[in-house]
Structure 1
Amino acid sequence: MQQLQNYINGALVAPQSNQYIDNYEPATGKVYSLIPDSGEEDVNAAVAAAEAAFPSWSMTPIGERSKILMRIAALIEENLERLALAESIDNGKPVWLAKMVDIPRAASNFHFYATAIHHYATGAHAMTNQAINYTLRDAIGVVGCISPWNLPLYLFSWKIAPALAAGNCVVAKPSEVTPMTAYLLSELCIEAGLPKGVLNIVHGLGHSAGNAIVAHDNVKAISFTGGTQTGAHIAKIAAPKFKKLSLELGGKNPNIIFADCDYDKMLTTTMRSSFANQGQICLCGSRIFVERPIYERFKRDFVARVKQLNVGDPNKKDSKMGAVVSKAHQEKVLSYIQLAKEEGGVVLAGGEALEIEGRCKGGYFIAPTVIEGLEYNCRTNQEEIFGPVVTIMPFDTEEEVLKYANSVQYGLASTLWTTNVSRATKMAQQIHAGIVWVNCWLLRDLRTPFGGVKASGVGREGGFHALDFFTEPKNVCIEY
């Protein structure tokens, strides 16, 4: 059985404890590899390597840093099949989805920041006949990047690429649930010639390896994507140490559908925005609000399509949905379906675990689930489930649906369907969310900022905003 290794100071090394954690394939429920159970000693070694590498890397010309990141991007593209299969085995998603979305976007992240750093500009302000002020953007030093399990390589690279492009050295931890693509990235970085110590990847549990990264005095900034509760814990540790923080946290996103929408496009996209990656995307629309004149039509058509979704072996091309990420997560999602029933909800489709025959017998599968009849402020409609479960309910007025949409503690993303431009602009302004998609979903431009409001996090990622986060501004004033 394969034992994964940490990537520290340019080499693949065993954890200092020599202890490993079982890594399960969600589709089969079986252990298929072992990952390092790293702790404070491993993190200390990684930080020391990053500190040693920082003076040289931060002063490496932008063109040279860019070339190395471009080589990493090219290697990701060349290893598409291998990485997609690894992500599917780790995460449970269909292989075709990883090939189409996750791995290409990881390559795009490295490519974007490899080129963006060439065009990263700072401002200058002249004080007439007296002085000139200009701003420098310096690399911070050693930064910590901690990523989640739902989009393992995509979100891992989204943090690492801008940090490296800006001249920082990184100590990164992937989720212990989905470590394989991060391990393979280690191999690709060695092949690309990334100098030793510039990127260090430490595998392990959040309460040990993750905590050690966040608490380390010489890690100057933390970029974290994951659950809101974990984000709050990280903030408590980091705030007294005055670390820079970027926290991209949970979501309970509304999908608001008006009767004047492009119905066919809306229905097709809503299927995707509800159940892509088994609903395990922080941007999925898990609360669907439909204007009353088309509610019954929508319910009939949507439920019919959901019942036709093929849930099966992630290796098969006709599987539209795979397994959820773990047994514990399967149990969590199923517990929320039971809660919905107790709160008066009616299950219109799904609502149960699925037993897949053959290779995947014993895997963690859940039927895509649609529930109606719930109050907008019940627990099922307020708490993040993060699985293939959506609720649907009708509304009559804009004021009413805004109350529903904004009632949760989260504010990450939202989707709005209407052909009325005036309504779209007005509603977009009033929805409490960092992202509002109008007549589309998951249409991302890496040049734009990404992040949420309220309990969905602080800070912004994406575009030059990520480079802003991974640098410190320094004002220089020269008097004439």
Structure 2
Amino acid sequence: MDTENDPRKIIEVINPADGSLIGTVPAGTAADVGAAVDDASGALAKWSSLLPRERGKKLFNAAAAIRKDKDRLAALLTSEQGKPLAESKNEIMGCANVLEYYASISGSITGEALPRSDYGYSFTIKKPLGVCGAIIPWNMPALIMAWKTGPALVAGNALIVKPATSTPLTCMEMASLIHGTGIPEEILRVIPGSGDEVGNAIAAHPKIRAVSFTGSTETGKIVEKAACGTGKHLTLELGGSDPMIVCDDAGIAAAAAGAAAGRFYNCGQTCTAVKRLYVFESIADEFMKALESAVTGIKIGNGLSPGVRMGPMSSSTGRERIEEIIDSVRNSGDGEITRGGRIPEGADYEKGFFYEPTIVAGVSGESRLMKEEVFGPVLPVSVVPGMNEAIEAANSTRYGLGASVWTKSIGRAVRAAEEIDAGIVWINRHLKIPPEVPFGGEKASGTGRENGIYAPERYMTEKTVIVSP
């Protein structure tokens, strides 16, 4: 059901494992955004006047509240998004980790002083921007909300959050817990609603000073256009088609397990998932056997069921796109589907949006699987002669979010880190990102960085004061 256009202005939240209705929330409007901006503007003076470490203490308390309620939040996240319960618990704990990290660095938010014999003294004061906005995707709603909430609030701003219409419940529950620890509702407001209505209002509002958006490259362009002329600070974490390169000196079993985990985590619906796999020719046969074995153990089902490692896709439209792509592969003959490639059979799968873990071997560089961002459980594999060809293929798309190289050679690792066009390059692992390190993309994968010690500065402005004797 297209709840975004529902004349009753109600968003229905559907469990993607069985199609059941798990909740409804009112759909926000542009007027709601305007009212939230006014409320935040009135509360900002008190919030921003707190010492940064006092704001940090409140974030620390918020993290503790989320940890305490992790089981309920994880079950809710699985019910609305579909991922296995273990993945949801990791995400909720990751959310708490992020808030704790920004609490820990809150005392590091300082200005600078510079004596000048010809001027006197100059001081640079860091000030919060004011009211900011965050637009959250459906695939990792809790974690990405924390990525944006932590630095914005610790820097002294107010934040208006728009969650995805398919996954608003966990974000709203997290906000409620955060409010209960002393952070005012006016300072953190969650407004569910459509991108056309609420998202556009956040991007275009002249009093919202910064927007951090995570989502597709195409939607990012819409956000950028809506914000044009408003002077906003923009952080855009957009799509990706992350390559993974397996060299001939890699640990085969570890690389195969890494590829399976990196592709099929969250049913392949992660921006930094392994989306293109390049294997050196000399080890291709051995690696493919190991990969098939690693994927064989992935149990599909309702994410709330014990032992499930891969839940459903988050929506019927997402699965339909995967079906269409796989049909085009079959029709073109560009690749051999060696595993999966269909909807699983059985009563347990009839009402949900399930799709089998799929491996496509022998894929050419011109295939849709290598050129587009495939957001689902499909892993295309291409065999390459060596490192030169692997790096060239890795850089052959418009994306540049993440990449990984699996090798025991320091020289190869350094070369890959330097030459691959990506915001993050992993060596002998893929996917996980600690809150201490900057994260973002190159090319069509976005602009700006989230996480790390400098993230609060993206929500601040500098004022210079020159004092002459």
TM range (shorter): over 0.9
> Aligned pair in 2 of structure 1 residues 355, 470: CA closer, same or farther (>3 Å)?
farther
| Correspondence list, 1:1-150, <5 A | 19-99=9-89, 101-128=90-117, 130-150=119-139
Q: Is the 8 A contact 1:287 1:381 kept in 2?
A: yes
> Aligned pair in 2 of structure 1 residues 475, 377: CA closer, same or farther (>3 Å)?
farther
TM-score by length of 1: 0.93
| Correspondence list, 1:26-425, <5 A | 26-99=16-89, 101-128=90-117, 130-343=119-332, 344-358=334-348, 361-425=350-414
Q: Aligned with 2:208: secondary structure?
A: coil
Q: Aligned with 2:308: secondary structure?
A: coil
> Aligned pair in 2 of structure 1 residues 60, 341: CA closer, same or farther (>3 Å)?
same
Cross-structure match for 1:11: none
The Cα offsets for residues 380-414 of structure 1, whole Å up to 9 and x where unpaired, read as 21101111111001111222111110000000000
Q: Is the 8 A contact 2:402 2:424 kept in 1?
A: yes
Q: CA deviation at 1:18?
A: 6.8
- Give the paired residue count: 462
Query: What is the distance in 1 between the residues matched to 2:126 and 2:366?
Result: 45
> Aligned pair in 2 of structure 1 residues 442, 126: CA closer, same or farther (>3 Å)?
farther
> In the alignment, residue 170 of structure 1 is paired with which amino acid?
L
Query: What is the distance in 1 between the residues matched to 2:69 and 2:321?
Result: 34
Query: What is the distance in 2 between the residues matched to 1:280 and 1:131?
Result: 56
Which consecutive residues of structure 1, in runs of 5 or more, have no partner in the other structure? 1-16
Matched, 1:451 2:445: no
Query: What is the distance in 1 between the residues matched to 2:293 and 2:431?
Result: 24
Q: Is the 8 A contact 2:22 2:80 kept in 1?
A: no
Q: Is the 8 A contact 1:156 1:182 kept in 2?
A: yes
Query: What is the distance in 2 between the residues matched to 1:407 and 1:64?
Result: 47
Matched, 1:476 2:465: yes
Q: CA deviation at 1:129?
A: 6.2
Q: Is the 8 A contact 2:155 2:460 kept in 1?
A: yes
Q: Is the 8 A contact 1:356 1:362 kept in 2?
A: no
Q: CA deviation at 1:159?
A: 0.3
Cross-structure match for 1:4: none
> In the alignment, residue 187 of structure 1 is paired with which amino acid?
S
Q: Percent identity?
A: 33
Q: CA RMSD in A?
A: 1.5
Q: Aligned with 2:436: secondary structure?
A: coil
Query: What is the distance in 1 between the residues matched to 2:52 and 2:436?
Result: 19
> In the alignment, residue 461 of structure 2 is paired with which amino acid?
E
Q: CA deviation at 1:183?
A: 1.5
Q: Is the 8 A contact 1:410 1:455 kept in 2?
A: yes
Q: CA deviation at 1:195?
A: 2.1
The Cα offsets for residues 96-138 of structure 1, whole Å up to 9 and x where unpaired, read as 2111x20001011111111211123444333346433332211
Q: Aligned with 2:429: secondary structure?
A: coil
> In the alignment, residue 465 of structure 1 is paired with which amino acid?
Y
> Aligned pair in 2 of structure 1 residues 341, 477: CA closer, same or farther (>3 Å)?
farther
Q: Is the 8 A contact 2:55 2:106 kept in 1?
A: no
Query: What is the distance in 2 between the residues matched to 1:383 and 1:98?
Result: 27
Q: CA deviation at 1:445?
A: 3.1
Query: What is the distance in 1 between the residues matched to 2:346 and 2:188?
Result: 40
Cross-structure match for 2:3: none
Query: What is the distance in 2 between the residues matched to 1:132 and 1:356?
Result: 75
Q: Aligned with 1:222: secondary structure?
A: strand
The Cα offsets for residues 44-65 of structure 1, whole Å up to 9 and x where unpaired, read as 1111111111111111222321
Q: Aligned with 1:255: secondary structure?
A: strand
Runs of 4+ in 1 over 4 A off after TM superposition: none
Q: Is the 8 A contact 1:307 1:349 kept in 2?
A: no
Query: What is the distance in 1 between the residues matched to 2:365 and 2:401?
Result: 18
Q: Is the 8 A contact 1:148 1:225 kept in 2?
A: yes
The Cα offsets for residues 143-193 of structure 1, whole Å up to 9 and x where unpaired, read as 001110111111011101110110001111111111111111132123212
> In the alignment, residue 223 of structure 1 is paired with which amino acid?
S
Which consecutive residues of structure 2, in runs of 5 or more, have no partner in the other structure? 1-6
Query: What is the distance in 2 between the residues matched to 1:249 and 1:91?
Result: 20
Q: Is the 8 A contact 2:40 2:187 kept in 1?
A: yes
Q: CA deviation at 1:329?
A: 0.9
Q: CA deviation at 1:36?
A: 1.6
The Cα offsets for residues 61-116 of structure 1, whole Å up to 9 and x where unpaired, read as 223212221111011000010000000001100112111x2000101111111121
Q: Aligned with 1:281: secondary structure?
A: coil
> In the alignment, residue 23 of structure 2 is paired with which amino acid?
S
Q: Aligned with 1:365: secondary structure?
A: coil
TM-score by length of 2: 0.95
